[in-house]
Amino acid sequence: MTRTTEEIARFCEDVYYDLDFREAKRSKAEMGGFAIGFMPVYAPREIVHAAGALPVGIVGAGDWLEVIRGDAYYQSYLCHIPRSTIDMAESGRLDFLDGMLFPSTCDVIRNLSGMWQLVKPETYVRYVDVPQNFDDGVGGDFWEHELRTLGKELGELTGTAVTDERLRASIALFNENRSAVNEMYALRRDEPNRAPTSEVYLITRVGFVMDVEEHTQLVREYIAAARAKSPTELDNARVVVCGAFCEQPPIGLLKTIERSGCFVVDDDMLLTTRWFTEDAAETGDPFRALAHAFVHHTVPTAVMYAPEAGRGKALVSRVREARAEGVIFAAPSFCIPALLDQPMLTAELDRQEIPYTSFKYSENAGQFHPIREQTGTFADTMKLWSVA
Ligand code: SF4
């Protein structure tokens, strides 16, 4: 039976709100009984998959979990995602995970890997120290070594060795998935009334708890349904959302931005899915292929080193490619990488006369009215006076 975009999005929204992770548990059982969690922003899911395990993105608990125990572990001013992650671990919701990967996103996530070892001493934990040097012989060699070590350890955990053949097959599946997701993003960029962000986000997000092949099919189904429908024409302002790469904004906040008169035509949410700007090679040494893709084809983001001038220019390029009229800086409250980046980014936007506005959120924010007023006024001013 053919589903509409609304029906597909409704299914994804149910999965999004399910803090018992039933979809992940189902996929884990079908894949052979292992699941490895990973925190934002980037983790090498191909390695996890090649070890016969389901990679599960843990990106917070949103606005539907009252965090109590997690608050005891962290200062009250910190961002919210480490607290909701600990709370979910403490309450047993993440007991189905056989291991956790903590990428070197920031100090908070690094500390969270230590907290996790206190809370779940029986689980496999690895701090994934991604390189900040993009020379093949330095960062590339280092990362290849890290990937091989991770593959060896996961293979021992699951009993399925990460052979070159298995890893090449996993790389091909994730390349295909990225290609489908990029096609969906391109559709949103070109016809945002057909594929609104509030739907595209949910479709992308379920890929964090679902087998990659099944997710690719779901994305393709959504694209076909979006192309088939007759959308309402809207004269919204086209904006890029920047800074939401780790702790995720609640879905209500994304809907609020849209209802205030904005089309989000590019964003940096759920970046793991779109991390490589070009495919990793499906032939040759697969560990080297992943290391090469990381060193040469990583999407620009605040958690990766870039020369100061490069940061603003990369954002301006995204604005131009998306034919956006302005930028909304939406950063989690106290997100050090996102907030430290903003002055460099806004300086370049000022030079290019691209309008922007900014606010902070937390994943459990429930009051969107002030943001609706702010982004609505921003959309109005762009429509009336913008020169970008
Ligand atoms: S939201 Fe920002 S500060 Fe918090 S864990 Fe993520 S990257 Fe670090």
pLDDT(122) > 70? yes
Residue 95 tokens, joined: 């007991």
How far apart CA 87 and CA 100 sit, in angstroms, is 15
pLDDT, tens digit, for every residue of 184-230? 999 999 999 999 999 999 999 999 999 999 999 999 999 999 999 99
The pick from 75, 78, 81, 270 for probing ligand 1's pocket by mutation, whose C-beta has the most ligand atoms within 8 angstroms, reads: 81
Give CA torsion, residues 358, 362, 368, 374, to 10 deg: -10
State the distance from the centre of ligand 1 to the C-alpha of 224, rounded, in angstroms: 35
State the distance from the centre of ligand 1 to the C-alpha of 219, rounded, in angstroms: 28
Ligand 1: residue whose CA is nearest its atom 3: 335
State the distance from the centre of ligand 1 to the C-alpha of 82, rounded, in angstroms: 8
Average pLDDT over residues 11-33: 96
The closest of 170, 207, 169, 253 to 57, measured between CA atoms, is 207
The pick from 335, 336, 340 for probing ligand 1's pocket by mutation, whose C-beta has the most ligand atoms within 8 angstroms, reads: 335
264 to 82, 207, 323, 328: CA distances (angstroms): 27, 20, 11, 9
- Distance spanning both ends of the chain, measured CA to CA: 44
| Any ligand 1 atom below 6 A from CB of 79 | yes
Average pLDDT over residues 279-303: 96
| Any ligand 1 atom below 6 A from CB of 247 | yes
pLDDT, tens digit, for every residue of 26-46? 999 999 999 999 999 999 999
3-state secondary structure of 7: helix
How far apart CA 281 and CA 284 sit, in angstroms, is 7
Give backbone dihedrals phi and psi of 152, rounded to 5 degrees, phi first.
-65, -45
| Any ligand 1 atom below 6 A from CB of 249 | no
| Any ligand 1 atom below 6 A from CB of 106 | yes
Residue-level pLDDT at 36: 98
Point out the ligand 1 atom lying closest to the alpha carbon of residue 246.
Answer: 6
**Hey, what amino acid is at 302?**
A
State the distance from the centre of ligand 1 to the C-alpha of 79, rounded, in angstroms: 6
Which band of pLDDT confidence, cut at 50, 70 and 90, is reported for residue 75? confident
Phi-psi sector, 234: left (phi>0), alpha (psi -120 to 50), beta = beta
Computed over every residue of the chain, the mean pLDDT equals 95
State the distance from the centre of ligand 1 to the C-alpha of 316, rounded, in angstroms: 23
pLDDT, tens digit, for every residue of 234-249? 899 999 999 999 999 9
Burial of residue 354, with CB atoms counted within 10 A of its CB: 0-12 exposed, 13-18 middle, 19 or more buried = buried
The closest of 301, 255, 254, 257 to 276, measured between CA atoms, is 301
| Contact indicator for 276, 282 with CB cutoff of 8 Å | no
Residue-level pLDDT at 128: 96
Give CA torsion, residues 380, 188, 39, 345, to 10 deg: -50
Residue-level pLDDT at 231: 87
Point out the ligand 1 atom lying closest to the alpha carbon of residue 302.
Answer: 7
Please count the other Cβ atoms lying within 10 Å of the Cβ belonging to residue 201.
24
3-state helix, strand, coil split of the chain in percent (to 5) is: 55, 10, 35
pLDDT(387) > 70? no
Average pLDDT over residues 316-333: 97
Ligand 1: residue whose CA is nearest its atom 2: 335
Burial of residue 369, with CB atoms counted within 10 A of its CB: 0-12 exposed, 13-18 middle, 19 or more buried = exposed
Ligand 1: residue whose CA is nearest its atom 6: 246
State the distance from the centre of ligand 1 to the C-alpha of 336, rounded, in angstroms: 7
Interstrand relation of 237-242 and 124-128 (parallel, antiparallel or unpaired): unpaired
Please count the other Cβ atoms lying within 10 Å of the Cβ belonging to residue 122.
7
| Any ligand 1 atom below 6 A from CB of 304 | no
pLDDT, tens digit, for every residue of 164-174? 999 999 999 99
Longest dimension (CA), the chain: 62
The closest of 295, 254, 240, 216 to 42, measured between CA atoms, is 295
Which band of pLDDT confidence, cut at 50, 70 and 90, is reported for residue 388? low
pLDDT, tens digit, for every residue of 123-180? 999 999 999 999 999 999 999 999 999 999 999 999 999 999 999 999 999 999 999 9
Alpha helices by DSSP H, the chain = 5-17, 22-31, 45-50, 81-90, 107-119, 141-158, 164-190, 197-205, 212-228, 251-259, 286-296, 308-321, 336-352, 369-385
State the distance from the centre of ligand 1 to the C-alpha of 340, rounded, in angstroms: 12
Point out the ligand 1 atom lying closest to the alpha carbon of residue 106.
Answer: 8
| Any ligand 1 atom below 6 A from CB of 161 | no
